[in-house]
Structure 1
Amino acid sequence: MLKRKDLDETPIFKTEDLRNAFYEALHEAYRVGKSDVELKKALKQLASALKPTKVLSGDLKEIFAVAAEKLEQSRANRINFCERKEKAPWKLWGTEKVEAKALEQMDDAVSLPISVGGALMPDAHQGYGLPIGGVLATKGAVIPYAVGVDIACRMRISILDVPCEEFERDRRRFGEVLLRETRFGVGIAFDPGMRVHEVMDDPLWKKPGVLKENFQKARSQLGTSGHGNHFVEFGKLTVEADIDEPTLKIKAGTYTALLSHSGSRGLGQHVANFYSELAAFLHPELPENLKRLSWLELDSEEGKDYWEAMELCGRYAAANHELIHKHVIAALGCGVLGYVENHHNFAWKEEFNGEEVIVHRKGATPAGEGKLGVVPGSMGTPGFIVRGKGNPESFNSCSHGAGRVMSRAAAYRNLKREDMKNFLRAREVTLIGGTLDESPEVYKDINKVIAGQTDLVDVLAKFEPKVVRMAEEKAQWTQRRNKKKAAGEAEVCM
């Protein structure tokens, strides 16, 4: 007999209004002697059919008649894909090293019947569904894959009351604090009770489904960072003119700052995968090139559930950064002069031409008029604090970073770790961990990326990384952790 767990992972069983009808049909099918093989095949046919009432034959057609009718009706009541006479408009910022595939993905996105318009930022490169650096505005619907797998991946910078001279004299101590107070990598967690935040008290965690199922994982990963391009680092912040904003009031000058980049960890991935599969199930009519752009209508049960889950992922990701900064700063024993933070993988309800639209930013930073944001470079190149100009052509957005020009696989084929070390050494950057596929060479020139969006943002400050903490190569991680345990001390390496 098919297990309840296996059935719950089937898209048909992810919608409450269909679940009961299909359970009743399965119960009847088993009563008359149908096998698991027959039923798995029938469920697969029904899930992928444009007309579920037409795909089965014989007694299976009769057994699943009510469920198939409910499924067909649920699809008929939704916005379905049809060819548009004209695609929604979109605009490109910066043409240097923007892949043809990224342009093609953006063109696909604005062909959806729900699309209002879009924009592609100067750090753009190929992604899944919507390109990285893509901005897409839709009407009445949200696209889980256009938000991304790392929901609410975000930035936070804290300006510290530590003189730059003191930081330079004591860099090793700063690195040791990063080693003690941060955790990086897939499945990494702090010991129970070491990181606590009120976000885990949110009543949404008790709602049956993907949030409840991932509560323990989320609690264990609280205050940690992922792998790849996630980091926590100290550096020098140069402020050209006085800044007077609600969260950041500082004079022109040079400061020590703490910068972090990470998201909602395993929670976000599970939420994204669950609702992306559900959206694809609800839109079998989409052609293959648009499957990853399947949407959920916001007035539907599924759309409301996703929006709730996405927003909780946003609060959870913000809590992660808050805890990282809180514990690192406490370990240093210093104060904070101000901070800036922002999501760059998220969807927002915003107004455009007098109407509410859903603005998806997948690797793009909110840049509404007067809004502050952080645009990082790489482990060895600068990042920037920017102020948005509120350009409606970009749907009030700017880039989220430098943008890749080399895939991770290509980096391992073509680059050498020694060259990466030499690059960092020349810029006086201490790297703790870090992988070759995150070498500065795999990214576009951040200065050119910033120069390509002067109509979107003003630069307020420049951040230069100096002590950088990232996930290690897996083999190195194990080796160094064992070495550190044996030596009984932290290891900081170039």
Structure 2
Amino acid sequence: MTTETASEELTSEMLAGWGHQPGKAFGAALRDGQAALQKGDSLDAVRQMLEGYKPAPVLPLAASGEKPFHINIEAETEDEKANLEAVKHHMTELMRTPTIEAGAIMPDACPAGPLGTIPVGGVVAARGAIHPGMHSADICCSVMMTEFEDADPKVVLDAAHQVTHFGAGGRANGKRFTMSMNLFDSFRENRFLSNPKILRAAQEHLGTQGDGNHFLFVGISRKTGKTAMVTHHGSRGPGAGLYKIGMSVAEKFRKKLSPKTLKQNAWIPSDTEEGVAYWEALQLIRKWTKANHNAIHQATVEGARVDYAERFWNEHNFVFERDGLYYHGKGATPAWDGYASDATGLTLIPLNMAEPVLVVRGRDAGHALGFSPHGAGRNYSRTEHKRRSASRTPEEMLKAETEGLDIRFFENKADISELPSSYKKADSVVAQIKKFDLAEIEDYIDPYGCIMAGEMEPFWRKNKGARR
């Protein structure tokens, strides 16, 4: 091998010949390399020094079908078959993402976005990468249950109705819950969460549940006969803000590392400064979300003037680190012992407002990547359900599908896209949980009543009316 001799000048042509590409790093390499030459370094030494200025190698997509995924779902009806084919199509494209090493779908799986987007009921394991798009804007969407010692379900539901809050935005001044100052300070110290909008939302949105499929459910345990309350919601404004910033950072990495990866599957490398800070931000958002549930549950306990026996929770829209891999569950529940420091071994699977909430113990099934379903899922979209239901009024449907239950909508208008008929059949989902050995059912919380946001006027229309 011939050793190159030092020259007085390092040229762009030389850098290009060494494999450097145009960009900011190219100019820096030219400047620093020339400075090193002038100090007397050899050309070989300079060339070696400048290797770190080269961009990371571009990662190609895997071939379609190269990385298979586990299928824990069956289809019988035409709607179920169409749904399953769509889910498989999305997963096949998703698995081409360079970082992903394994995937699985649950019995509640359904599509959730453009082709290649992780479906609801989907799980993927990524090596060295956190994908914001795979936990979505509703980071740490989760469920919490409180079982009361001796309480009338109506008293609990009435008390909960007085303290909870559904809809866009946060609570008005004078009606807000107090955020822990330690948690608030931790937000301010994190590069992703110190954003003024996130900090404001963290205070204003505490004790709120949002809209869509989020709910407050009251029922009776078959096992103990006690009244129990279950809440379902995510991290609200703070989580949505983190997701937006995270996607922006991930997009910058995508352009450098894998331009052909779909934008929704961009990632933040876990070993970078950004990756470390984002992982920390996710854990802080998890703490905030747990506090959000706790605020509503404790206020209900005090409002109903009752004692409680047990309280636990679990997330089903989050990222979990296990054995060096980052498991992204989009509407999927971790089903292994010790997945988090506050895990109890029990998790919750709601089905719909007229069916029980399942209390389960996970089976850590390898063919499910250690996850279980998060709920019932849908076979077709909300819009399609509304189209098929056009011949009946929301009131007629509500009465027919929830006879004998105390169903309330915060906005006083039934949302038919959240009625039982809009979801997969609960008994079919339960049967598949058992068939695929995804979880062991320990209890059923039979429904007494439920509160949801209801059909809501778009926030922009409300704001427009207020301005007038």
Alignment match, 1:30: none
Could you tell me which residue of structure 1 aligns to residue 184 of structure 2? 201
Give the secondary-structure state (helix, strand or coil) at the position aligned to 2:240.
helix
Residues 206, 292 of structure 2: 8 Å contact kept: yes
SS in 2 for 1:203: helix
Aligned to 1:232, the other structure's residue is in SS state: strand
SS in 2 for 1:117: strand
The 5 A counterparts of 1:54-453 are 76-77=55-56, 80-84=59-63, 87-96=66-75, 97=80, 98-128=83-113, 129-163=117-151, 166-167=152-153, 171=154, 173-192=155-174, 194-198=176-180, 200-213=183-196, 214-239=198-223, 253-284=224-255, 286=258, 290-351=262-323, 356-369=324-337, 371-415=345-389, 416-433=393-410, 434-453=414-433
Determine the C-alpha separation between the residues in 2 that align with 1:68 and 1:366.
50
1:233-292 deviation line (CA, Å, top 9, x unaligned): 2112212xxxxxxxxxxxxx3221001000100111111122113212321375777221
**1:346 and 1:362 in contact (8 A); partners too:** yes
RMSD (Å) for aligned C-alpha atoms: 3.0
Deviations, residues 15-47 of structure 1 (Å, cap 9, x unaligned): xxxxxxxxxxxxxxxxxxxxxxxxxxxxxxxxx
Counterpart of 1:450, as a letter, is V
Secondary structure in structure 1 of the residue aligned to 2:263 = helix
SS in 2 for 1:187: coil
**How far apart, in 1, do the equivalents of 2:314 and 2:440 lie?**
16
Structure 1 residues without counterparts, runs of 5 or longer: 1-50, 55-60, 240-252, 478-494
- Cα distance, 1:219 vs. partner? 0.7
Following TM superposition, by how much is the alpha carbon of 1:231 offset from its aligned partner in structure 2, in angstroms? 0.8
Partner of 2:444: 462
* Distance in structure 2 (CA, Å) of the matches to 1:74 and 1:109: 31
CA–CA distance in structure 1, aligned partners of residues 380 and 320 of structure 2 = 30
Q: For 2:176, give the aligned amino acid.
A: M
Task: Sort the Cα spacing of 1:287 and 1:76 in 2 relative to 1 into closer, same or farther, 3 A.
Answer: closer
Which whole-Å deviations, capped at 9, do the CAs of 1:75-114 have from their partners, x for residues lacking one? Answer: 8226623435973331011122243222122112222221
Structure 2 residue matching 1:76: 3-state secondary structure? coil
Match of 2:112, SS? strand
Per the TM alignment, residue 212 of structure 1 is displaced from its structure 2 partner at its CA by 3.1
Report the Cα distance in structure 1 between the residues aligned to 2:130 and 2:371, rounded to whole angstroms: 18
1:218 deviates by: 1.2
**Residue 97 of structure 2 contacts residue 261 of structure 2 at CA under 8 Å; is this kept in 1?**
no
Instruction: Show the counterpart of 2:10.
Output: none
Kept in 2, the 8 Å contact 1:160–1:336? The answer is yes
Structure of larger gyration radius: 2
2:358 is paired with a residue whose SS is strand
8 Å contact 1:368–1:389 — kept in the other structure?
yes
Change (3 A) 1:66 1:178: same
Task: Provide the rounded CA distance (Å) in 2 between the counterparts of 1:67 and 1:108.
Answer: 38
| Identity value in percent | 27
Q: What secondary structure sits across from 2:451 in the alignment?
A: strand
Query: CA 1:320–1:79 in 2, change beyond 3 Å: closer, same or farther?
Result: farther
Residues in 2 aligned to 1:450 and 1:269: alpha-carbon distance in whole angstroms = 31
CA distance, structure 1, for counterparts of residue 93 and residue 54 of structure 2: 22
Specify which of 10, 22, 25 is matched with residue 53 of structure 1. 22
- Give deviations 1:348-406, integer Å, cap 9, x for gaps: 1112xxxx211111100011158211000112222200001121221110000000123
Please state how far the C-alpha of 1:436 moved relative to its aligned partner.
1.9
Determine helix, strand or coil for the equivalent of 2:150: coil
Q: 1:109 to 1:69 in 2, by over 3 A?
A: farther
Q: Distance in 2 between matches of 1:423 and 1:379?
A: 13
2:52, 2:64 → 1: CA distance?
27
- Which SS does the other structure have where 1:283 is aligned? helix
CA contact (8 A) 1:84 1:113 kept: no
Do the aligned partners of residues 143 and 463 (structure 1) sit closer, same or farther apart at CA in structure 2, a change above 3 Å counting? same
Q: TM-score, normalised by structure 2?
A: 0.77
Extract unaligned runs of 5+ from structure 2: 1-19, 33-50, 338-343, 460-468
**Would the alpha carbon gap of residues 149 and 267 (structure 1) be closer, same or farther in structure 2, given more than 3 Å must change?**
same
The amino acid across from 1:279 in the alignment is: A
- Alignment CA distance shift 1:291-1:208 (3 Å): closer
2:254 and 2:261 in contact (8 A); partners too: no
Q: Give the aligned residue type for 1:469.
A: I
In structure 1, distance between residues paired with 2:31 and 2:119: 37
Q: CA distance change for structure 1 residues 82 and 191 in 2, over 3 Å: closer, same or farther?
A: same
Distance in 2 separating the partners of 1:408 and 1:136: 25
TM-superposed deviation, 1:176: 3.1
CA contact (8 A) 2:61 2:260 kept: no
Contact 1:80–1:283 (CA<8 Å) still a contact in 2? no
Instruction: Provide the TM-score with structure 1 as the length reference.
Output: 0.73
8 A contact 2:183–2:284 mirrored in 1: no
Q: Over residues 192-251 of structure 1, what are the superposed CA-to-partner deviations in whole Å (9 max), with x where a residue is unaligned?
A: 473123264342324455433210111111111110011112112212xxxxxxxxxxxx
**Aligned mates of 2:215, 2:31 — CA distance in 1:** 50
| Equivalent pair of 2:21/2:54 in contact (CA under 8 Å) | no
